[in-house]
Amino acid sequence: MKLHNLYLAVLVLLVSCNEETQTITAEQSELFMGSWIQLTESPDGHIIFNPCDAENQSIEVAKNDGEWLFTYKEGHEMSIDTIVGVLPLKNGHQILMKPGWSSDTISAFAEMTSDKTIDFTWNTDGEMGTLHFVKETWSEDYPVVDQPCVECWGVEGCDPAEKDSNRLYSIHVYPYDGSGTNAASTYDTVADFDFIEANQYRILHYNYTTYEIRLETDTFLMLILGSNTISLSKSAFVPEAHALTYIDDESGYLFGIDDQEFYGTDAGNPRFELSNILIETPNPITFPKAQYDDLYEPNLSGRSVKAYETDGGELILTMGNSDGAGGYFVTWIIRGDVIERFVQSGI
């Protein structure tokens, strides 16, 4: 669908050209001017979502040759309207605009939801529809999720690299928009490394042979599949055994452990550390401590730790860890001597 058709169907509210308006004040220009990127709700908060059959939407408010312009973009297509006035409202502002394709005036409503985000609302056939945006300056605060090509076009319709069985993994996921988490709304798809890294919170399980629990205690977990075993251990965190870096001498804000950033707490000292991962198979796998020495507050339960063997003999090990605030997911994909690790924090 062309952008103008979408714009007509979704964004237009015709209002009288005789309404009393006012010019944009310096305060309003400071509030609205700049580039804004659309946010999408997910089960774990807002994300910047790039669908595989379109591109994410953005808005730019800028002054050009003495006129304020409201530019709505979707990929390479755009619609540019001239802002003719802004009316302050109790909970925001009404923006009156002259579109390039009509002599009428259209109206949008803008409400700042924080110092970084804004809601733009348009009328859709008598019903108000709201899109959430973040100022581009602050967009790095939100994870970027690219929907894999195969979810729109299937494996045959995508880039040959995405068809490579060594790079695609069969998974079962939640919908990206958080519209439902029951069995009827989840679905199977395939994903590459980029998708796995950015969407670990969406992955319910991998569609491969699953390791079973052999032994589970508060500090130890053993998983087994045939003659293969995976053992994970945790131990109490001893501050004196580590080099701790604080952001300053007064705040107590822990910034680094052993000269590296870490996962598991929200700037506080961890209670537990992941002390060992041992993988025993007929073909020995060396699992370096560097693969987990920055991971803290591990949850060693059969619900939080999962392991799978793919049809091609790869090992996938996943964990969801948290102290209640500094949550994160970690996934290891092991192919012979090659270990790929993906960590997604802020869950």
Answer yes or no: pTM beyond 0.75.
Answer: no
Last residue of a domain, one of 121, 141, 161: 141
Is residue 202's pLDDT more than 80? yes
Could you tell me if 119 and 22 lie in one domain?
Answer: yes
Structure confidence at residue 5 (pLDDT): 30
Six token digits for residue 295: 């991971």
pLDDT digits (tens, 9 = 90+) for 110-169: 888 776 888 888 654 456 678 889 988 888 888 888 877 767 776 566 654 444 434 678
SS3 196: helix
Provide the domain count of the chain. Answer: 2
Structure confidence at residue 333 (pLDDT): 94
Structure confidence at residue 24 (pLDDT): 66
In the predicted model, what is the mean pLDDT of residues 284-297? 92
Report which listed range, 43-47, 51-55, 108-112, 135-139, is most confident: 135-139
Helices (H), the chain: 3-10, 26-32, 149-153, 160-163, 193-198
Do the domain assignments include residue 10?
A: yes
Q: 113: domain CATH number?
A: 2.40.128
Is residue 11's pLDDT more than 50? no
Q: Which of 69, 119, 127 is nearest to 99 (CA)?
A: 69
Last residue of a domain, one of 105, 122, 141: 141
pLDDT digits (tens, 9 = 90+) for 229-240: 999 999 999 999
The residue type of 262 is F
Do the domain assignments include residue 296?
A: yes
* Burial of 297 from C-beta contacts in 10 A (0-12 / 13-18 / 19+): buried
Structure confidence at residue 319 (pLDDT): 95
In the predicted model, what is the mean pLDDT of residues 51-68? 81
In the predicted model, what is the mean pLDDT of residues 185-201? 82
Q: What contacts 66, CB < 8 A, 6 or more positions away?
A: none
Q: Which helix (H) or strand (E) holds 48?
A: strand 45-50
Range of the domain at 253: 208-345
Q: Which of 49, 178, 29 is nearest to 110 (CA)?
A: 29
Looking at 50-59, 153-162, 179-188, which range is the least confident one? 153-162
